[in-house]
Structure 1
Amino acid sequence: MATCTTNDPHEIQMDSESEGDSTMKIDAVYSSDVDSSESDDEIGSSKQQSTDRIWKKTAFKPHLFSFDETNAGLSSNIDAMKDATPLEFFQLLFNETIIDLIVEETNKYQAFSNNDITPSTCSHQAKWTETNRSEIYTFLATTMLMSVTKKNKILDYWSADPMIITPMFADVFQFKVTVSLHNIVMAINLIPFLSQPEFQSSLFLFSNSILILLTYIFIHPFPFSSLSVLIYVLITFYVTKRLASGNSYKPTKNLQEQIVIVTGAATGIGYVSATELAKLGAKVIVGIRGQERAERIAKQIAQKSNGTVIGYDLDLSNLSNVKHFAEQILKNEQRLDILLNNAGGIKDIYTTTTDGLEIQWATNHIGHFYLTKLLLSLLLKSKGRVVNVSSIVHFIASRGIDYEFFIDSYSNFKVYGTTKLANIWHAYELHRRYGSKGLKAYSLHPGSIITTEFNRNRPKLVLLLIQSLMYFFSKTIYEGTLTSLYCSLSDDAQSGKYHSDCKEAQPSQIAYNQKLAEECWNKSEEIIEEKTKYLS
């Protein structure tokens, strides 16, 4: 920015480093009037004069208000102000007496600042006009708005540009246009769901059920019509189930001498994943809560797969336990080819871990993030793969992640979706940071499956009803495992990307947002650094 200069020593100099800000140096202005031949006493007298003219806080004498049990400072009954404007509420705290005082003191200060000074024509001083009550109200309201409305730069808050004026939507868009835009955005967000097997099977069953009902009611019965309808129903159910199964993937890769870790392998798709990987010849290490339980389940998987399976205690909600698990791996293994971050769950109520973290956030994301961090050296050495089991539920977190999980506004399903978005960002950032070094990272939606976590603590009658309905729309546990195996083994899987139904899929609009992904990475690093700084 060009600097405004002048030969007049009384003029204010603009700071070339800032836009719109000026600094008055009254001492410098007054000392410039002193001739170089003046005595020290004269110079000192001149400087003393300039010091006396500096605006002092002690010159301000505020009006004192008295408050007691009968006078809280508010003259209006808030309950009666149902139709009040925002300004009227604002004036309860900043009434006209206070505003007028601010106006008066602001104008006095400006008059004092310009005393004996002739501003240059390009300075803000020259353009000054006395402020008034309306301007001060606007200034205070806009300043407060800065804390809740994010804009690119400070000047945007004061801009008259109709596209960024505060607030913008009221002036730029009509209500109907805004609603239409919102509906379009929501429709775009639903597109990824249309390709999901569970949606296609549901749509097929619903449409054919209507067709069967209409046929049976309105078409005149003929011999064997009931049998025909029954056959049609059976065919419909069969096709529905086939649609729900989705694509198939048959792993054939030889994993001899490869090391694989599967978290959450006690039940569900984790158990089946560990079994299938062991069948292919890999040495599989399963991380399961409780050492005895881990060893027992590892033995079961080894017998079922006729492979090598080792069980270690791993509680992803406990960072100290995660560290101990990783230390055993680093001590006993020389490589790590696949890290399948499978463990996860959803809790009905707000719960915190021993580390003080919300339990879903800790188990589904932070624990896996920390484990991957600790084992990164082995993964890079082996040019291995990291596979994060996410979920289509990550679409719920459409506005990103609020890293404060407050109990009074807690939604377990929303937090679950948040953790699954973090899983996608984790894989995305791993690929971006370490892909050039040979590391591959993937995220995936396994499909709609009635998991063990979902079954837990539900009434038997409710569970039976849900399982009956979901039978036709959900995948089996084995079918849900296939996308995990696809990302773990297939050369067609795309590193850094989100997958579903054994192929690359479209995630939410913010899933590949580098800024948000990097923010999540940095926040996770901060949490781990804070929570593990005293671990030995």
Structure 2
Amino acid sequence: MTSPRTIVLTGASSGIGRKAAIALAEGGATVAVVGRNPDRTRAVAEQIGGVWHVCDFDRLDDVRRLADTLLEQHPRIDVLANNAGGLVSRREVTVDGYERTVQSNHLAPFLLTRLLLPRLLESSGRVVSTSSTANLMGQVRLDDLNWSKRLWVGGWRAYGTSKLLTNMFISQLAARSDIEAFAFHPGFVATGFGGDSASMRMVNMLTNGNYGISADAGAVPLIQLAGPTTIGVPSGTYFDQLKPFGRQAPQARDTLLAEAVWDRTSQLVGLPADL
């Protein structure tokens, strides 16, 4: 008898993560529900018969503890879906000394993926990361990954840059390992995303909350990419919803820069660059 697939899904306590957790569990997978809010995270896990883990991506030690727990509890991991992260309207620094957007959207999922990678490789697994079409407004500067030398402008440029970093990470992960790795833009989803952003509050007010696509629709590419089916495109591909080879900022095609980002990120999270 074939064992159920095990999927680790971060950012699973609400929005598209919650919808994907429910659908993937209904499809027969064992879902490790990872979230920041204990009550919501536990509620999703109990609803789907999964296990739950609380982790604050603003603390890299939390990520390390999460990885240790996951490796202890799950003898196989078939998919890691990096869906946690978000937009913050004011520049803030974490306890680790990094700007919150780059840490939660890039450094933390990079660290978690690297720590779980041997187990994923044992299962011929897959890594899926939630990105955004906002990567088009991103600009990576190796001398300013912490976004301390540029205007904040509501955090949107930093957010776009973090998603460009996500795409670079996925392309490098595919190039450096035998893992299947994909990034995707879920669409402009009407959820609680960017709740403290003045621009998002304005959009919500002007549209009376009727903007974007539903969380159900936004979860579709995550469900498909984390599911058991063959993807049919090269590892490292970025999807715009279900369409492969989505538009990316020009820097996404700069292999030398992506390699330098990998090396620098490894240094920041305390890992060797080589796998």
TM-score for both structures, normalised by structure 2: 0.88
1:382 aligned residue: 123
Distance 1:364 1:264 in 2: 11
Q: CA–CA distance in 2 between the matches of 1:397 and 1:443? A: 16
Percent of aligned pairs with the same residue? Answer: 28
Q: 1:492 aligns with which of 228, 231, 237?
A: 231
SS class of match (2:50): strand
**Could you give the per-residue CA deviations for residues 225-281 of structure 1, whole angstroms, max 9, x where no partner exists?**
xxxxxxxxxxxxxxxxxxxxxxxxxxxxxx951100110111110111111110101
Alignment of 1:307-456 (within 5 A): 308-398=49-139, 402-406=144-148, 409-411=151-153, 412-435=155-178, 439-456=179-196
- Please give the alpha-carbon distance, in whole angstroms, between the structure 1 residues aligned to 2:140 and 2:270: 26
Other-structure match for 1:465 = 205
Letter in 1 for 2:68: E
Using the alignment, how far apart are the partners of 2:147 and 2:198 within structure 1? Answer: 25
Using the alignment, how far apart are the partners of 2:115 and 2:40 within structure 1?
24
Classify the secondary structure of the residue corresponding to 1:511: helix
Give unmatched runs, 5+ long, in structure 1. Answer: 1-254, 303-307, 531-536
Q: Which amino acid aligns with 1:258?
A: R
User: 1:410: Cα distance to partner?
Assistant: 2.6
Residue 294 (1) aligns with residue 41 (2): yes
Q: 1:299 offset after TM fit, Å?
A: 1.4
Q: Distance in 2 between matches of 1:409 and 1:398?
A: 13
Label 1:378 to 1:344 Cα distance change in 2 as closer, same or farther (>3 A). Answer: same
Alpha-carbon distance between aligned partners in 1 of 2:203 and 2:146, rounded to the nearest angstrom: 32
Q: C-alpha root-mean-square deviation of aligned residues, in Å?
A: 2.4
Q: Which residue of 2 aligns with 1:276?
A: 23
Counterpart of 1:355 in 2: which secondary structure?
A: coil
Unpaired runs of 5+ in structure 2?
A: none
Tell me by how many angstroms 1:492 deviates.
3.1
* Aligned partner of residue 42 in structure 2, secondary structure: helix
The alignment of Structure 1 onto Structure 2 pairs a total of residues equal to 265
Quick one: distance in 2 between partners of 1:468 and 1:272?
23
Name whichever structure is richer in strand by fraction.
2
Q: Aligned with 2:252: secondary structure? A: coil
Three-state SS of the structure 1 residue aligned to 2:127 is strand
Partner of 1:265: 12
**8 Å CA contact retained: 2:140, 2:165:** no
Q: Confirm or deny: 8 A CA contact 1:400 1:418 kept in the other structure.
A: no
CA deviation vs aligned residue, 1:470-519 (integer Å, no higher than 9, x gap): 53xx2211111111122223423531011012120232222132111111
Q: Are 1:481 and 2:223 counterparts?
A: no
TM-score by length of 1: 0.47
SS of aligned partner of 1:386: strand
**Post-superposition offset of 1:453:** 2.4
Retained in 1: the 8 A contact 2:11–2:17?
Answer: yes
Q: Deviations over 1:437-488 (max 9, x none)?
A: xx100011111112212345769984653444853xx221111111112222
Q: Call closer, same or farther: CA 1:333–1:516 in 2, change over 3 Å.
A: same
Work out whether residues 81 and 129 of structure 2, in 8 Å CA contact, stay in contact via their aligned partners in 1. Answer: yes
Amino acid at match of 1:427: I
Which of residues 263, 267, 275 is equivalent to 1:526? 267
Partners in 2 of 1:272 and 1:499 — Cα distance?
Answer: 19
Q: Larger % of helix: which?
A: 1
Distance between the aligned counterparts of 1:344 and 1:406, measured in 2?
20
Between the aligned partners of 2:201 and 2:141, the Cα distance in structure 1 is 37
Work out the CA distance in 2 between the residues paired with 1:423 and 1:371: 13
- Larger-gyration structure (1/2): 1
- Relative to structure 1, the CA distance from residue 525 to residue 383 in structure 2 (aligned partners, 3 Å threshold; closer, same or farther) is same
